[in-house]
Amino acid sequence: MLMDADECQLVLVDYQLRLMPVMHDSAAVLANAVRLARMAQLMQVPVWATAQNPDKLGAQAPELQAALQEAGARELSKMHFSAVPDGLANALRPPVRKSGGNARSLPRHLQKNAEPEEGRSAVVIAGCEAHICLMQTALELLQEEFEVWVVTDACSSRTERNRDAAFDRLAGAGAELVSTEMVAFEWLRTASHPAFKAVQALVK
């Protein structure tokens, strides 16, 4: 199964000023997060960013903040380690479609229940720390029946051991582990895509 850009949303977890300096391989991880945000903008994939207790951990790293703004990203502040209890899953779901016509004029047994719009059920997610906020968010999104794709080279923890333990657990729970370039070329699918050259330039 390949990622489909038309079915995906991108979630970037907690690349914050006071957190990034202590992350393993932080420069490369942050660079890949920026690439993901810019690719999402080019491919018209909706972008979300979370911030853990921003009063204490600060705003997003400046280079990522610029890419998020250009991509029209929406940001969710949170206090739980997982972003789901603070509203992420509900935000990712499409709005409920209102019933047509004047429902009050119909007998109750003829009234149609509101139905959700067809939405994007796949979440491409990356972030810090991999074994805490990223992992807990991804596991709860799986419980909420989203498809979850974890971009491993855009994730980090303070130690490699914690990061890798998170990947093992996420894979066992049903998340797909991918890389930034996998996301790029699966979203594109073909060298004839209008965004091919721009996306290719981001990953080379």
pLDDT digits over 87-127, tens only? 999 999 875 555 554 444 455 545 554 444 467 899 999 99
The C-alpha angle with vertex 13 and arms to 139 and 137, in degrees rounded to 5, equals: 15
* E strand residue ranges, the chain: 8-13, 47-52, 74-78, 96-97, 115-116, 122-127, 147-151, 176-178
The predicted structure's pLDDT at residue 114: 45
CA distances from 104 to 10, 96, 108, 113, 116 (A): 39, 18, 8, 13, 20
**Residue 123 in contact with residue 111, Cβ under 8 Å?**
no
Distance of CA 185 to the CA centre of its chain: 17
What is the per-residue pLDDT across 133-188, written as a single tens digit (0 to 9) for each? 999 999 999 999 999 999 999 999 999 999 999 999 999 999 999 999 999 999 99
Question: In the chain, what are the domain boundaries?
Answer: 5-94+118-203
Looking at every residue in the chain, the average pLDDT score rounds to 91
Reply yes or no on domain 5-94+118-203 having CATH 2.130.10.10: no
- Whether pLDDT at 67 is above 60: yes
Separation between Cα atoms, residue 169 and residue 174, nearest integer Å: 9
Mean pLDDT of 30-39: 98
Separation between Cα atoms, residue 53 and residue 58, nearest integer Å: 8
The predicted structure's pLDDT at residue 27: 96
